[in-house]
Amino acid sequence: MTKARKITINPVSRLEGHGKVTIHLDEDGEVRDARFHVTQFRGFERFCEGRPFEEMPVITQRICGICPVSHQLASAKACDAILGVDIPETAKRLRELEHMGQFIQSHALHFFHLASPDLLLGWDADPAKRNVVGVINAFPDLAVKGIRLRRFGQEIIKALGGKKIHPSFAVPGGVNGALSREDRDGLLGGFDEAYGTCRTAIDLIKGWIEKNLEQVKAFANFESNYAGLMDDQGCPDMYEGRLRIVGHDGETVAEFDPADYLSFIGEHVEPWSYLKFPFFKPQGYPDGGYRVGPLGRLNAADRMRTPKADDELQVYREMSRDGLRGCTLLYHYTRLIELLGCLERAEEILTEDSVCGQDIRITADPANEEGIGVIEAPRGTLIHHYVVDKFGAIKRINLIVATGHNNIAMNRSIGLVAREYIHDGEVREGILNRVEGAIRCYDPCLSCSTHALGQMALKIEIYGPDGMILDQLQRN
């Protein structure tokens, strides 16, 4: 009997959004193909047309409830470019501080709420318990620490923008409110605990990697390009900088002003996903795939800007020297190094005198017909590109979201994991969870991915060689 079939995982869970995976097996029950489908599409690139550009920071942040601040800031930066202004120094610091709050909450959310069940409870743990509730029950102290670390990031955002999700803060030309001394002092009181929790998490992931080194090496380990915004010292800069792309050997293959992104980045469309596939144009599709987010940024960087994170980067470098740079599971470690760096940067900003200044906004009429705003979102480089008419109404809007840049890599990763673990047509639940785990490493934000119009859920379908669905694999 033929073992050919299609496996579907739907929805892929513990991701921010809905995704679906299909795995096609050939006659011998070996993996022929694996695809990650994003199944929702919302249409921001069309329905924003005609609206005043000043509305964009408010509208586009609704693309994502996990990283609304990233969209708000990329959008505000594109609007600054349309106004043709350099915003006041205090406004820039406050925007960056808001952004650090978002990195802290988003990275903590991913590690503690979404990824830790696999690491702490195990890939093969009972699916009914393999979630944040299971972690709360098994490791109550750690779970509460993680919840409090995420809360700390959210509180930074709330102190600036009035609420934790979809805050109102960055506007064209600056920000709409100053930081009070009282709020600043309150926030500064939270760092000791936050550093402690971050350190606990770093120790935990390092211990896990050490214990599972063979698995780390075998799990979706592949060479790719890596990319991220860098400052002039070659340190990852989450708010601004030049976009650097390095090859798998660590050599820089391109470094450019992100406003020139159209010369370097193209987007491929596959008819089976609503999420496009960005690639580095000189290398074409799919060879020009690259990875963004924590692993992409740290592999592209020369060093970190803050001392504690830089020390930890050296440890990571030492660990990843022997062919481990491409290990997808190292996303978890690099994410926590960034979390540490973002805590340091937030503290730095809060201890500057100027942070409570009142010079926070420049008003101006539109000076340019085009504006491009690029920042590093927690999941990677985020590009907002607007063209306006002489009245400031949006004529065209193009968005490339962080998760999109990783689309080629995510598809490659699930293929590698599926081939590693699925043989002779035999599939069990824990294996499907590993396939999902490969996607989970990238912390894809499917809310963002679906800005065009899409939704993602993980489902494994088993297809016959003739393309007929033979079986669907489900949990429970």
Partner 1 sequence: MGKPKIATVWLEGCSGCHMSFLDLDEALVDVLSKVELCDTPITDFKDFNFPDVDVGIIEGSIANEEELKIACKLREHCKVLVAWGDCAVFGGINTLRNTVPKEAILRRGFIETESTVGGVMPVDPELPLLLDKAVPVNYHVNVDVYVPGCPPSPEAIAYSLTEILAGRIPVLPSEMMHYD
Interface residue with partner 1 among 379, 385, 405, 440 (CB under 8 A) is 385
CB of 43 to partner 1, least distance (A): 4
CB of 7 to partner 1, least distance (A): 12
Give the phi and the psi of residue 3 in degrees, each rounded to 5: -100, 10
Q: Which residues inside 294-323 make contact with partner 1, applying CB under 8 A?
A: none
Q: Does 197 bind partner 1 (CB under 8 A)?
A: no
Half-sphere exposure (CA, 13 Å, Cβ side) for 196?
A: 9
Q: Are strands 170-171 and 265-268 parallel, antiparallel or unpaired?
A: unpaired
Q: Between 9 and 304, whose beta carbon lies closer to partner 1?
A: 9
Of positions 382, 400, 416, 427, contacts partner 1 by CB under 8 A? 400
Distance of closest approach, residue 377 Cβ to partner 1, in angstroms:
14
Provide, rounded to whole angstroms, the least separation between the CB of residue 129 and partner 1. Answer: 9
Whether 417 and 435 have beta carbons less than 8 Å apart is answered as yes
Closest contact distance (angstroms) between CB of 334 and partner 1 is 23
Q: Report how far residue 151's alpha carbon sits from residue 228's, in angstroms, rounded to the nearest whole number.
A: 27
Residue 374 and residue 243: Cα distance in Å, rounded? 9
Compute how many residues bind partner 1; rule: CB under 8 A: 85
- Per the listing, tokens 């340019």 go with 368
Q: Does 381 bind partner 1 (CB under 8 A)?
A: no
The yes or no reply on residue 133 touching partner 1 (CB under 8 A) is: yes
Options 290, 455, 462, 464; binder of partner 1; rule CB under 8 A: 455
* 424 belongs to the binding site for partner 1 (CB under 8 A): no
Contact in structure between 446 and 15 (CB atoms under 8 Å): yes
How far apart CA 29 and CA 17 sit, in angstroms, is 30
Q: Which of 3, 30, 54, 127 binds partner 1 (CB under 8 A)?
A: 127
Q: Is 78 in a helix, a strand, or coil? A: helix
Largest CA-CA distance found in the chain, in angstroms, rounded: 75
- Per CB under 8 A, which region of 74-82, 140-148, 314-322, 348-356 contacts partner 1? 140-148
Does residue 407 belong to the site contacting partner 1 (CB under 8 A)? no
> Closest by alpha carbon to 443, among 413, 417, 421?
413
Q: Which is nearer to partner 1, 18 or 291 (CB)?
A: 18
- CB contact set of 62 (below 8 Å; sequence gap of 6+): 68, 166
Which of 262, 315, 393, 468 touches partner 1 by CB under 8 A?
Answer: 262
- Rule CB under 8 A: say whether 452 interacts with partner 1: yes
As a whole number of Å, the CA-based R_g of the chain is 22
3-state class (DSSP) for residue 244: strand
| 3 touches partner 1 by CB under 8 A | no
Both tokens of 349, joined, read 């900003």
Token duo for residue 209: 């990697």
Single residue of 272, 311, 354, 363 touching partner 1 by CB under 8 A: 272
Task: Read off the tokens for 66.
Answer: 């996990």
DSSP, collapsed to helix, strand or coil, labels residue 360 as: coil
Among 102, 224, 273, 334, binds partner 1 (CB under 8 A): 273
Region 141-180 residues binding partner 1, contact defined as CB under 8 A: 143-144, 147-148, 150-151, 154, 163-166, 168
Binding residue (CB under 8 A) for partner 1 from 3, 26, 32, 136: 136
Measured distance CA(292)–CA(243) in Å, rounded: 11
The footprint of partner 1 on residues 13-32 (CB under 8 A) is 13-18, 20, 22
Which one among 9, 100, 346, 410 touches partner 1, defined by CB under 8 A?
9
Contacts to partner 1 from residues 105-124, by CB under 8 A: 109, 113-114, 117
Whether the CB-CB separation of 277 and 408 falls below 8 Å is answered with: yes
Residue with tokens 């809905």: 18
Instruction: Pick out residues in 321-350 that bind partner 1 (CB under 8 A).
Output: none
Span from 182-190, 289-297, 306-314, 467-475 in contact with partner 1 (CB under 8 A): 467-475
> By CB under 8 A, what part of segment 48-107 binds partner 1?
48, 59, 62-66, 68
Sign of the CA dihedral with 159 first, then 306, 354, and 363 last: negative
Q: What angle do CA 407, 394, 257 make, to 5 degrees?
A: 50
Output the smallest distance, CB 436 to partner 1, in A.
Answer: 8
- Work out whether 423 is an interface residue with partner 1 (CB under 8 A): no
Contact 173, 57 (CB under 8 A): no
Q: Does 444 bind partner 1 (CB under 8 A)?
A: no
